[in-house]
C-alpha cells in the first residue's frame, strides 16, 4: 500500500479521486480499480472484470451493484443498458465503486489530467469524467450485468443510489435549478470536437433547441425510462 501525502485537496470525492488519478503510480499493474473503503467487493469481482476487459479489448468496465442501507433495505442498481451515441454527455457508466480500467486506458487518462490540471478543477463527478474520456477517445466500455459490489448507502454518500421517492425529488430539483444542464455542458466542453451541435443546443436552450434535443433522446440516455423522463422534461421546459 502507498499513501499519498495527506495535504491533498479534500472537499469531496471528486477532487480526491482526481488527485489519485493524477498521482497514483500504476506502472507495475495491468488493471486499475476505483475503491471506496466502505463498500463490499464480492469474490472474483476483479478477475471477472479483467477477463472481460481482455475478451472485449475494452478500456473501461463497470457492473451492476447491490445498494444496501443500515435498515436492511436492498436494491439492485441496473446500469448495464446498451450504450447510446451520446449517453456519456448526460450520465456516467454507473457506480464508480464498480469501475475497472486497463493500464493503457489509465495511462492515457492520467497523462491528460496531468497536462492540463486546471481544466478539470470544476469537475464534480470523477466517475462521469472517466466515462466521458473513454467515449471521446474511442475506447470501448464494457457494461457487465453481474453484481460484483455491494454499495453501502448512508448520509455521507455524495451521489449514492438513485432509488426511491427522495432520489426522484432530488433529481427533479437539480433539473429545475439548471444545475444538471450546467454539469452536462461542463462535461461536453472538456472534449467538444464530436458534439459541437449538442453543446450549442444545450447552451442556447430555446424552444427550438429543446424540441431538437427531445427528438434525440433515444441517443442521450441508456435506460428507456430515463429517455422518457428526459423527453418530457425537454418538452415541458423543466430543465433550467
Range list of H helices, 10-89: 13-23, 45-55
pLDDT of residue 36: 83
CATH value of 13-152 in 3.50.50.60, 3.90.550.10, 3.40.47.10, 1.10.10.60: 3.90.550.10
pLDDT of residue 5: 75
pLDDT of residue 25: 92
pLDDT of residue 175: 74
DSSP output for 171-238: HHHHHHHTHHHHHHHHHHHHS-TT-HHHHHHHHH--HHHHHHHHTTGGGT-SSHHHHHHHHHHHHHT-
Pairing of strands 141-152, 40-41: antiparallel
pLDDT of residue 7: 61
Cα–Cα distance for residue pair 16/186, rounded to 1 Å: 19
Domain ranges of the chain: 13-152, 165-236
Full pLDDT tens readout for the chain, 240 residues = 777 776 665 667 889 999 999 999 999 999 999 998 789 999 999 999 999 999 999 999 999 999 999 999 999 999 888 899 999 999 999 999 999 999 999 999 999 999 989 999 889 999 999 999 999 999 999 999 999 999 998 765 555 555 555 666 676 777 778 899 999 999 999 999 989 999 999 999 999 999 999 999 999 999 999 999 999 999 988 887
Q: How far is CA 56 from CA 49, 94, 140, in A?
A: 11, 19, 8
How long, in residues, is the chain? 240
pLDDT of residue 85: 96
Q: Helix (H, G, I), strand (E, B), or coil: what is residue 119?
A: helix
Amino acid at each position: 500500500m502507498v499513501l499519498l501525502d495527506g495535504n491533498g485537496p479534500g472537499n469531496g470525492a471528486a477532487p480526491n479521486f482526481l488527485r489519485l488519478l493524477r498521482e497514483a503510480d500504476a506502472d507495475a499493474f495491468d488493471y486499475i480499480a476505483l475503491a471506496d473503503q466502505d463498500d463490499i467487493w464480492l469474490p472474483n469481482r476483479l478477475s471477472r472484470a479483467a477477463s472481460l476487459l481482455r475478451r472485449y479489448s475494452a478500456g473501461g468496465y463497470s457492473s451492476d451493484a447491490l445498494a444496501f442501507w443500515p435498515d436492511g433495505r436492498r436494491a439492485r442498481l441496473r446500469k448495464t443498458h446498451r450504450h447510446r451515441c451520446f449517453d456519456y454527455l448526460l450520465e456516467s457508466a454507473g457506480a464508480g465503486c464498480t469501475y475497472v480500467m486497463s493500464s493503457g486506458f489509465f495511462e492515457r487518462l492520467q497523462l491528460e489530467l496531468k497536462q492540463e490540471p486546471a481544466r478539470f478543477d470544476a469537475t464534480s463527478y470523477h466517475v462521469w469524467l472517466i466515462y466521458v474520456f473513454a467515449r471521446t477517445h474511442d475506447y470501448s466500455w464494457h457494461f457487465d450485468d453481474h453484481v460484483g459490489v455491494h454499495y453501502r448507502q448512508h448520509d455521507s454518500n455524495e451521489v449514492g443510489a438513485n432509488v426511491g421517492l427522495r432520489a426522484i425529488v432530488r433529481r427533479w430539483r437539480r433539473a429545475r435549478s439548471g444545475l444538471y444542464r450546467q454539469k452536462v455542458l461542463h462535461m461536453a466542453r472538456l472534449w467538444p470536437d464530436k458534439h459541437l451541435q449538442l453543446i450549442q443546443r444545450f447552451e442556447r436552450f430555446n424552444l427550438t433547441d429543446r424540441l431538437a434535443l427531445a427528438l434525440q433522446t433515444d441517443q442521450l440516455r441508456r435506460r428507456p425510462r430515463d429517455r422518457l423522463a428526459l423527453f418530457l422534461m425537454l418538452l415541458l421546459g423543466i430543465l433550467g
